[in-house]
Structure 1
């Protein structure tokens, strides 16, 4: 049997979950895919589902629950990769580009959202590279210290198997969020972007492990993929 699949893209807007200085994560949760292979993770993905502790982000997503096309590109000699996101917004096709800095932990990335003053750590919790990836995003705003947890489901196609969805729901529950809050993005047709927008980012200050705390919870057996 494969181990229980638990996983997590990508912009965290605002914050709502203040935890007195630390994200509290289940002890049983493995933060990153074992033996993560960055080159296999690059390429085309679709963001199919999302749930977050941030009410502002969730309100925005409910108002426009569209599938986001993601293109990940990495140059071997560089310490970051670029994610280009394409989706419909306000009845027009928009495209944005964000740089994610690599860290010393394979499968963990960092970027800073200047307009919200938010540092964001993104973890590839689980992926089989060819079908799905489950993403965990932990953000913290400065100087307020407000924190947000977001879980996203990526797919190489515009759908996933019931088994993959069940394991994504397992991750959501382990993070203390409700399956009923999950937003399933919808396919609204071909999206052809115009001008490319760039999200302002900064280089990482990688000293965030200390703010991750864990609580012990029973391991969840979510079956095979």
Structure 2
């Protein structure tokens, strides 16, 4: 009986350790842009392509696959930044501002989406700053604990080269998603 209790206690302790270590190990496996430079990342971007494990997000994007104009501005004195997005929807241009908090890892940021009660962990996976950036966003809704991921392709212009698009598709596949699921946003309005 005592051996059963000890084994059960060890299993519970082991499971608790795995659950606590899980996110840390998962984050350690996410490659962030080497030598990330926040200053060079700021400025105007366009969201050209997206893919997500969230069915509601994907349905919304399929119904209205428009290019989203983004403006990233650093906020003094704390160094955090804001992202203002502009998208054409239902005949009007809608703006939304999101506040991003920096982390100790350059190229990794946090923000909260109150509408869904979601904490979002964002990673700049790769960028050459002048042409494109690839982002991985991991969300956890509260209190449900539902986890989703998004991969986004940003560009400084309204198009990217075939090589950049192929690199984006490879990143999508590396994260277990299909090329067929990628939504290519369309430029329906001039910004």
TM-score (norm 1): 0.72
Whole-angstrom CA distance in 1 between matches of 2:72 and 2:152 = 16
Residue 26 of structure 1: how far off its partner (Å):
10
1:142 is displaced (CA, Å) by 1.3
Aligned position for 2:111: 111
Aligned partner of 1:184 in structure 2 is: 184
C-alpha separation in 1, matches of 2:27 and 2:82: 30
Q: Secondary structure at the match of 1:115?
A: coil
Q: Could you give the per-residue CA deviations for residues 95-150 of structure 1, whole angstroms, max 9, x where no partner exists?
A: 11110001111000000111211000000000000000000000011121110010
Q: Which has the higher contact order (CA 8 A, sep 6+)?
A: 1
Which structure 1 residue ranges, 4+ long, deviate > 3 Å from structure 2?
Answer: 20-27
Contact 2:75 2:82 in 1 (8 A): no
Q: In the alignment, what sits opposite 2:3?
A: none
Counterpart in 2 of 1:141?
141
Larger helix share, 1 or 2: 2
1:57 & 1:104 partners in 2: Cα distance? 29
Distance, in Å, in 1 between the alignment partners of 2:143 and 2:189 is: 40
Tell me the distance in 1 between the aligned counterparts of 2:143 and 2:94.
Answer: 31
Q: 1:75 Cα deviation (Å)? A: 3.1
Point out the structure with max Rg over C-alpha: 2
* Contact 1:44–1:69 (Cα < 8 Å) also in 2: yes
> What is residue 94 of structure 1 aligned with on the other side?
94
Q: Tell me the distance in 2 between the aligned counterparts of 1:172 and 1:84.
A: 25
List runs of 5+ in structure 1 lacking aligned partners. Answer: 1-19, 192-225
Aligned to 2:12: none
C-alpha contact (below 8 Å) 2:88/2:189 kept by paired residues: no
Q: Secondary structure at the match of 1:143?
A: coil
Distance 1:25-1:163 versus aligned 2 partners, 3 A rule: farther
Tell me the secondary structure at the aligned position of residue 47 of structure 2: strand
Structure 1 residue 89 displacement after superposition: 1.0
Residue number in structure 1 paired with 2:14: none
Partner of 2:124: 124
Alignment RMSD = 2.0
User: Match of 1:170, SS?
Assistant: helix
Q: Give the corresponding residue for 1:167.
A: 167
Alignment correspondent of 2:38: 38
Structure 2, unaligned stretches of length 5 or more? 1-18
- Measured against aligned partners, the alpha-carbon deviations of 1:20-43 in whole angstroms (never above 9, x if no partner) come to 99679698x652100100000000
The whole-number CA distance in structure 2 between the counterparts of 1:79 and 1:143 is: 30
